[in-house]
Chain A
Amino acid sequence: MTIGGPRGGGQPRLQMPCLGKMERMIVSMQDPDMGIKMRNQRLLITVIPHAMTGNDIVEWLIQKYGISEEESLHLGNLIVRHGYIYPLRDPRSLVLRADESPYRFQTPYFWTSTKWPATELDYAIYLAKKNIRKQGELIEHEKDNYNLLHKRINHTWDFVVMQAREQLRAAKQRRKGDRIVIDCQEQAYWLVNRPPPGAPNVLEQGPERRNCHTTRVQLNMDYYKREIEYCRKAMARTRVKSSICLEGYLKFNEQYVPHDPIMSGCLPSNPWITDDTTYWAMNAPTVTTPTKLRVERWGFNFSELLMDPLGRTQLLEFLKKEFSAENLSFWEACEELRYGEQSHINEIVDSIYQQFLAPGATRWVNIDSKTMERTLEGIKTPHRYVMDDAQMHIYMLMKKDSYPRFLKSELYRNLLAEAVIPPETKKRVFPFMRKQRHSSPSPALLLPAGDTEAKGEEKSRSPAAVPEEES
């Protein structure tokens, strides 16, 4: 969604859907019945009509959206910073104060969405007006800009000065109140479009999107044919009833919430809160005694057991007892193929074949004949996914067969019994005394053997480091 529509000459587009929403908010704020009650505000000796206080704005937002005062002040501030409401008393700073400071709604003529981008010519006229009206009224950055513009659009300078003089002359004929209002409106507009250095630029966007025209999708016959084909395939797909899917979330939630440190805390304590890294030490990839929560989690599903390095080691132990350890090794080798380097594919496929699939192989895996046939055929032209079928078959075998037995096994039950529940860290007596935060060795230092230089570096790298202790 773009505001302002396309402009000629490939000018950048303002991509801010929030502006439209802000404008709707502004309009409802000015609603005669439900909007903010506006009244005349006194500015020194002049009376400005249709104004409101900062407090009014904050209160209205709280009422309308049911939000807290902090959020309301934050939102109000953003509205002011985008120039939709401007302060009367301190017009140089676009800030919302939740007190009796007077504010007014910006005229739609100066809305960010209507008058974007701000033109150099307009800015030059504005600065010229300021300069003419009172010598030395221009502040530092405005002086710099003025000089820059004078150089850049010198050829139109006569026009600029003439326009400035005309506008000033016309302004003198207005009432003082109107003059003040128009000045504030203009100033707010320029604060948004030419923010002083150091002030945040609310109109700043990231790199332009949708600027690559070579890949623009052509709405031709091919496009629609693809859409039709996609729809047909999608219609044929099996869908699951919402009630069943959503039930799944509830189950997942129930299982995992006790394991979610943000929801349920973690024992002994969350390292980020107490600066104590015991939690990480106790849950390191390989420890002698895993925690109870961790061992319980291996029982949730096969993937949890397999993806935990410690769990996988235990699984291997169990499979060895059942004489089916080659299944796990095969699966690991297939993973290495799938995620390995492109140049090693032939090598890895051959190694897998020799170890696991060749007749008489030392660690022959038991795959059904059809899959074996397909795989052996595929090996002739090896590629990354050639073992997918076989790998899936073995994975399912482990999942449906070995895994349930693992959960019932003595091995697993012992693990559960011996697992530790760390005691909660006692709250420190002097909570404001921060515990020293120790560094840990970077994983990048654990280079393959032969890089002993790097290990030597480690000692000099982190002098205050306390090596992580495994319990």
Chain B
Amino acid sequence: MCDQTFLAIVFGPCDKCSNEKPLRAVYIKSEQLSYCSLCVEMMATEGLHENETLASLKNEAESLKGKLEEERAKLHDVELHQVAERVEALGQFVMKTRRTLKGHGNKVLCMDWCKDKRRIVSSSQDGKVIVWDSFTTNKEHAVTMPCTWVMACAYAPSGCAIACGGLDNKCSVYPLTFDKNENMAAKKKSVAMHTNYLSACSFTNSDMQILTASGDGTCALWDVESGQLLQSFHGHGADVLCLDLAPSETGNTFVSGGCDKKAMVWDMRSGQCIQSFETHDSDINSVRYYPSGDAFASGSDDATCRLYDLRADREVAIYSKESIIFGASSVDFSLSGRLLFAGYNDYTINVWDVLKGSRVSILFGHENRVSTLRVSPDGTAFCSGSWDHTLRIWA
């Protein structure tokens, strides 16, 4: 007679189906459970470990992304520069510095135009925010923020207030006053509160709402009077660096760009991301809508600017040159959208023919990085701000 090993079988309620059956020991994540043989069979075929589900979700996401790209590519029947062959080439292009605004004691980080087409607000690293009549180069107002690196500033549509913010994680609104007895800082309103630096801000169609972008990865819409958060926009995987409101007649969307290399289009009302584009190789520093609202351009640290069409749902042009290796910090279109002005970290401004994809001109003058660039509201000139402490108006 040989030794026989007896397997002790436990009878009892199964941990999964609760039926009274012979049980087997099963080990899930170092935990011992007792399942009946039927449940063990089912589990083996389903493969229900959480790690496996995560991997399968990831695969599904990747394959869907691939299919999405295929769908986008199906309708791409022609390139922009091919279509643009019918358009007349641009002639000699001459733009010069017409005004130099000196007065900031440190790097100029951001600027915005007033709707009166000649006033601007600019902010710098040392916390100074200055309002200029750039036509006469006179300074009209100055405020010193309690923080350094004021990376965002905006002029209110009425021309009666400015907004700014930076490393203080807030966006503050200052009503502009000419009263010598009044300290502008006294009437300051703290509107937005983020958990990291403020990178961009913009008023909507009125003085009473502000849209902000922050290093905490979110954008937000605020009511100026009460400081109430009206809507927040989550979806970027890293710092959001820029935003621009759509010029569309129904005025409901905006685009944002971030360190996750994505440009995302949002619905202001619902807070949902409508479209997303991810073709840049590095941080997107600046986004700006094409004047018709059907497309937008982006400037990135990968030294390229790109044009994305919203109806075709894809990138339709890349503006790059082998000799341009420094990142584009700021972009804006001329009034007709034919020209794209881009300021770069190599101290230059490149002017691109949007339709033909070629570079029209390169503008020298700044002695350090060009950090901000905006075309005036009536398209007669554009203003560039730089780390060389100056702003220049070009026309």
Contact = CB atoms under 8 A, between A and B. Distances in A.
A339 B393 CA distance: 32
Interface string A213-230: 011010111001101101
A414 interface: no
A235 B178 contact: no
Interface in A278-316: 279-280, 283, 302-303, 306
Contacts of B338: 253, 256-257, 260, 263
Contacts of A25: 325
Interface in B204-235: 204-206, 208-209, 215-218, 223-226, 228, 230
A260 B58 contact: no
By secondary structure, the B interface counts as: loop
Nearest to A265: B380
Given A247-B83, A256-B291, A207 B176 contact: no
Nearest to B138: A439
Interface in A1-49: 1, 15, 17-18, 21-22, 25
Contact of A262 (B140, B175, B205, B334): B334
A440 B133 contact: yes
Interface in B114-143: 114-119, 133, 135-136, 138, 140
A67 B348 CA distance: 14
B71 A235 contact: yes
Nearest to B388: A200
A36 to B, nearest CB: 16
B335 A261 contact: yes
Given A241-B312, A272-B393, A215 B195 contact: yes
A263 B339 contact: yes
A341 B67 contact: no
Contact of B346 (A75, A257, A439): A75
Contacts of B334: 260, 262-263
Interface in B342-395: 345-348, 354-355, 362, 364, 367-368, 378-382, 393, 395
A252 B281 CA distance: 30
Contacts of A302: 249
Contacts of A224: 54, 57-58, 60-61
B302 A341 contact: no
Contacts of A368: none
Contacts of A449: none
Interface in A437-471: 437-440, 442-447, 453-454, 457-458, 461
B311 interface: yes
A235 B239 contact: no
A432 to B, nearest CB: 14
A422 interface: no
A242 B312 contact: yes
A207 B326 contact: no
A375 interface: no
Contacts of A273: 98, 395
- Which of the four size classes fits the interface of chain A? 35 or more
A417 interface: no
Contacts of A78: 326, 346
Nearest to B301: A17
Interface in A240-275: 240-250, 252-253, 256-257, 259-263, 266, 270-273
Contacts of A162: none
A240 B312 contact: yes
A443 B291 contact: no
A242 B321 CA distance: 24
A444 B176 contact: yes
Contact of B195 (A209, A214, A230, A438): A214
A439 B117 contact: no
Name A's interface SS: helix
A55 to B, nearest CB: 18
A395 B249 CA distance: 10
B249 A444 contact: no
A135 interface: no
Given A215-B216, A243-B83, A277-B135, A454 B178 contact: yes
A207 B151 contact: yes
Nearest to B56: A224
A253 B217 CA distance: 35
B323 A71 contact: yes
A238 to B, nearest CB: 9
A212 B195 contact: yes
B39 to A, nearest CB: 24
Contact of A230 (B250, B276, B393): B276
B86 interface: yes
Contacts of A433: none
B159 A210 contact: no
Contacts of A214: 195, 216
A174 interface: no
Contacts of A231: 61, 64-65, 67-68
Interface of B: 50, 53-54, 57-58, 60-61, 64-65, 67-68, 71-72, 75-80, 83-84, 86-87, 90, 95, 98-99, 109, 114-119, 133, 135-136, 138, 140, 149, 151, 158-161, 167, 175-180, 195-197, 204-206, 208-209, 215-218, 223-226, 228, 230, 237-239, 241, 249-250, 259, 269, 273, 275-276, 281-283, 290-292, 294-295, 301-303, 309, 311-314, 316, 321-323, 325-327, 334-339, 345-348, 354-355, 362, 364, 367-368, 378-382, 393, 395
30 contacts: A17-B327, A18-B303, A18-B327, A64-B322, A65-B321, A70-B364, A71-B362, A74-B347, A206-B151, A209-B283, A212-B216, A215-B218, A217-B217, A221-B53, A234-B313, A249-B294, A250-B84, A252-B291, A252-B336, A252-B337, A261-B380, A262-B382, A271-B135, A272-B99, A277-B135, A335-B205, A342-B225, A342-B230, A384-B230, A457-B180
Interface of A: 1, 15, 17-18, 21-22, 25, 61, 64-65, 67-68, 70-71, 74-75, 78, 200, 206-207, 209-212, 214-215, 217, 219-221, 224-225, 227-228, 230-232, 234-235, 237, 239-250, 252-253, 256-257, 259-263, 266, 270-273, 277, 279-280, 283, 302-303, 306, 335, 338-343, 384-385, 388, 392, 395, 437-440, 442-447, 453-454, 457-458, 461
The 3 A-B pairs with the shortest beta carbon distances in the complex, nearest first, are A443-B159, A260-B336, A256-B336
